[in-house]
Amino acid sequence: MNLPFILDVILGLIFIYLTLSLLASEIQELIATLFQWRAQHLRRAIEILLAGDVENSQDLRVIQLVNQIYANPLVKGLNQEGKGFLATLPRRFTWGLASMARTFQKTSQGLQAQDTVFGNQKHSGPSYIPSQTFANTLIDTLQVPTLVQKLSESRFAKFKEQKLAEIQNILFQMQEQAQDDENMANFFNKMYQEFAEMHADFEQILWNFQQDKADLVTSINRMGESLDRYIDSFQADMIANEISTKALRRLQFLKQDSFGDAERAISLGGLQPNVNEVVQSVNRDSPVYQEIKDSMQDKDNDTLQAIENVIDRLPPSMAQSLTIFAKNAQTRVQKTEEGINLLRHEIETSFNSSMERASGVYKRNAKGVAILLGIIIAASSNADAFHMVNRLSKDSAIRNTIINNAGEVLRQNTQYVNNFQALRNETDVALTDISLPLGWTETNVQQQWTPQKLSPTTANLQESSESKSQSVPFRRYLNVFFGWVLSGVAIAMGAPFWFDLLNKIVNVRNAGKSPTR
C-alpha cells in the first residue's frame, strides 16, 4: 500500500462526503427557513439582552417591551413579505408549520406561545436587525424624545413665569415708591398694558415651542426681542426721575442676564435636561419623574399614561444599564442632543456585543442540528464509512471514476470557491456517471452485510466455532452503526470544509500546483 493509493482512497471518501454535505446543508437551510430559526433566535437574544439574563427573559415586562420594539415601523420595515394570495401562499405554509411547532413550547406568566415569538400574534420577524436600527427603536420605544420635550416644556414654562414675575415685581416696586406722584399714574397704566401684551407674546412663544414650531434657542431669542420692545416703550414714555431710571436699569440688566445669550440662559436655567436626567425620568422614585408627572397631570394624560406604561414594562436590569450608559455619556457632552447620540452609541455597542454572543450560540446549536441531520442522512443513504473505505480500497474502477470526476469538479469551480450553488450543480452532473458505494441497493447491501467468501481452511475453522460465528452478525450491526455515526459527523463538517480539503488533497496528489506565468 503506497502513498498514491492512500491519497486516492482519501480523495474518493472526501468527494462522497462533499456530495452528502451539500445535501445536508440544503436540508438544514430549508428547515431553518420553515421554522424561522434565525428570526426566533434573534428575538430570543434581544429578550435576554433587555432582561439581563436568561432566567428573567420570559418575564411579562420583557416580552411586552420586545413586542413594542418589533411593532416599531423601523423594525417592521426589515421584514419584507410578498403581497397577494399566490405570493403569500408559501409563507402561509411555513407559518402553519412554525405555529404547530410553537404549540409545544411552554411559556411563563400564562402567556400564549405565539405571543413570545414575534409579538402581537405576528407570524414572522426579521432575521437581522442593524445595531443602529435597534438603538433608534429602543430610544423611541422608551419615549426618550417625548421625555426630553416634556421636561424642556415644563422648565421653559417655569422660566417664562419666573421672568414675567421678575418684570412685574420691578413694576410693583416702582409703583410703591412713586405712589405719591400723580404724574406717573398714566405711565403705570400704559406699562401694565404693555406688560399684558408682552405676557401674551411669551405665552404664544411657549405654545409654539410646545407645538415644535420653534426650538428652545429661537424661543429664548424671541422672548428677548419682546422684552426689548417693552424696554424701548418704557424708556420712551417714562418720566425722568431716580425711580424710573433705577427701574429701567433693572429691566436692562434682566434682559442682558436672562436673554442676552440664549445658550447661556438654557444652560444656567437647566431648560434642556441632560441625558442623565432623561434616563432618571423612567424611575418612579426620581425627582425628575415627579417633575414630569406634575407638569403633565390633568394636561396631557394620554402622553403621561404612555410614559408610565413604558416605565412599568422596563426591566430593572435594562434600567440599570441605561443609567450606566447615561453616566458614561454625560461625562463627555454638554448638550442634550450630543448626550442622546452618545447614549444611542452605547446601546449600539451593547447590542453588537450581545449579537456576537448570540451568533456563537446559534452556530453551536446549528452544529448540533447538523450532526443529528448528518447521522440521519448517513443512515438513510446507508453511508457506512467503513464499507466505503473497503469498497474504495478494493474497487479500482469506482476509485478512478470518482477521482477523475472530483478533479473535473475542482477545475470547473476553482473560480467559484464561495459559490456552492455552482459547485452543487457540477457535483450533480458528476454523480450521473458514478456508482457510489452507498445506498440501499441490492448489490451494495449484499456487499455490506453478507460476509465475504472465505478460503476452505478458514471456512472449516469457522464452522467448528459456532459461538464465534453467532457473534459475527452483532459485530457487523455494531460496525455499520458506528460507520453511520462517523459519516454523520463527517457530513456535519459542511461542504466548505470538504471542498477545501478536496482541493488540498488533489494538489498533493498532483505534486502541487502548476507554476503561474
CATH number at residue 227: 1.20.120
- For residues 281 and 314, the answer to whether their CB atoms sit within 8 Å is no
Query: Which band of pLDDT confidence, cut at 50, 70 and 90, is reported for residue 194?
Result: very high
CB count, 10 Å around CB of 247? 21
Whether 275 shows a pLDDT value over 60: the answer reads yes
CB count, 10 Å around CB of 378? 26
What does the alpha-carbon distance between residue 74 and residue 397 come to, in Å, rounded to a whole number? 60
In a domain, 154, yes or no: yes
Whether residues 137 and 152 fall in one domain = no
Whether 414 shows a pLDDT value over 60: the answer reads no
Whether residues 96 and 114 fall in one domain = yes
| Residue 467: per-residue pLDDT | 44
| Residue 464: per-residue pLDDT | 44
Whether residues 466 and 384 fall in one domain = yes
What does the alpha-carbon distance between residue 232 and residue 253 come to, in Å, rounded to a whole number? 14
In a domain, 284, yes or no: no
Average pLDDT over residues 365-392: 90
Whether residues 379 and 497 fall in one domain = yes
Nearest to 434 by CA among 27, 18, 28, 6: 18
Whether residues 168 and 205 fall in one domain = yes
Whether 449 shows a pLDDT value over 90: the answer reads no
What are residue 88's phi and psi, to 5 degrees? Answer: -95, -5
Whether residues 97 and 151 fall in one domain = no
What does the alpha-carbon distance between residue 96 and residue 81 come to, in Å, rounded to a whole number? 16
Higher pLDDT, 261 or 94: 261
Lowest mean pLDDT among 23-27, 131-135, 280-284, 377-381: 280-284
Query: Which band of pLDDT confidence, cut at 50, 70 and 90, is reported for residue 462?
Result: very low
Whether 51 shows a pLDDT value over 70: the answer reads yes
Whether residues 496 and 453 fall in one domain = yes
Whether 404 shows a pLDDT value over 80: the answer reads no
| Residue 2: per-residue pLDDT | 65
Average pLDDT over residues 455-462: 44
Average pLDDT over residues 278-290: 82
In a domain, 34, yes or no: yes
Residues present in the chain in total: 517
What does the alpha-carbon distance between residue 195 and residue 201 come to, in Å, rounded to a whole number? 10
In a domain, 206, yes or no: yes
| 56: containing domain | 24-141+354-361
What does the alpha-carbon distance between residue 478 and residue 465 come to, in Å, rounded to a whole number? 21
- Torsion, CA 92, CA 98, CA 103, CA 108, rounded to 10: -120
In a domain, 105, yes or no: yes
| Residue 61: per-residue pLDDT | 82
Whether residues 120 and 179 fall in one domain = no
Whether residues 421 and 500 fall in one domain = yes
Cell digits for 180? 405719591
Nearest to 12 by CA among 513, 498, 511: 498
Q: What is the mean pLDDT of the chain?
A: 78
Each residue's pLDDT tens digit, 482-499: 999 999 999 999 888 888
Share of the chain above pLDDT 90, in %: 21
| Residue 91: per-residue pLDDT | 60
| Residue 233: per-residue pLDDT | 92
Higher pLDDT, 512 or 384: 384
What does the alpha-carbon distance between residue 53 and residue 249 come to, in Å, rounded to a whole number? 63
Look at residues 301, 333, 361 and tell me which one is the last residue of a structural domain.
361
| Residue 64: per-residue pLDDT | 84
| Residue 108: per-residue pLDDT | 40
Average pLDDT over residues 156-175: 92
Share of the chain above pLDDT 70, in %: 77
In a domain, 296, yes or no: no
In a domain, 62, yes or no: yes
In a domain, 311, yes or no: no
Vertex 258: Cα angle to 255 and 260 (nearest 5): 65
| Residue 471: per-residue pLDDT | 43
| Residue 387: per-residue pLDDT | 87
| Residue 104: per-residue pLDDT | 52
Whether 460 shows a pLDDT value over 60: the answer reads no
Looking up cell 462533499 gives: 18
CB count, 10 Å around CB of 53? 8
| Residue 400: per-residue pLDDT | 76
Whether 146 shows a pLDDT value over 90: the answer reads no
What does the alpha-carbon distance between residue 67 and residue 63 come to, in Å, rounded to a whole number? 6
Which DSSP string do the residues of 391-440 spell out, in sequence order?
A: HHHH-HHHHHHHHHHHHHHHHHHTT-TT-HHHHHHHHHHHHTT---S-SS
Whether residues 377 and 504 fall in one domain = yes
Cell digits for 442? 441490492
Query: Which band of pLDDT confidence, cut at 50, 70 and 90, is reported for residue 422?
Result: low
Each residue's pLDDT tens digit, 214-259: 999 999 999 999 999 999 999 988 888 888 899 999 999 999 998 9
Look at residues 328, 361, 394 and tell me which one is the last residue of a structural domain.
361
By 3-state DSSP, what share of the chain in percent is helix, strand and coil, each rounded to 5? 75, 0, 25
What are residue 516's phi and psi, to 5 degrees? Answer: -80, 145
What does the alpha-carbon distance between residue 18 and residue 4 come to, in Å, rounded to a whole number? 21
Whether residues 82 and 120 fall in one domain = yes
For the whole model, what pTM was predicted?
A: 0.72
Based on the structure, what is the number of domains in the chain? 3
| Residue 230: per-residue pLDDT | 93
Higher pLDDT, 79 or 503: 503
Look at residues 269, 286, 318 and tell me which one is the last residue of a structural domain.
269
What does the alpha-carbon distance between residue 516 and residue 502 come to, in Å, rounded to a whole number? 21
Whether residues 158 and 254 fall in one domain = yes
What does the alpha-carbon distance between residue 378 and residue 21 come to, in Å, rounded to a whole number? 10
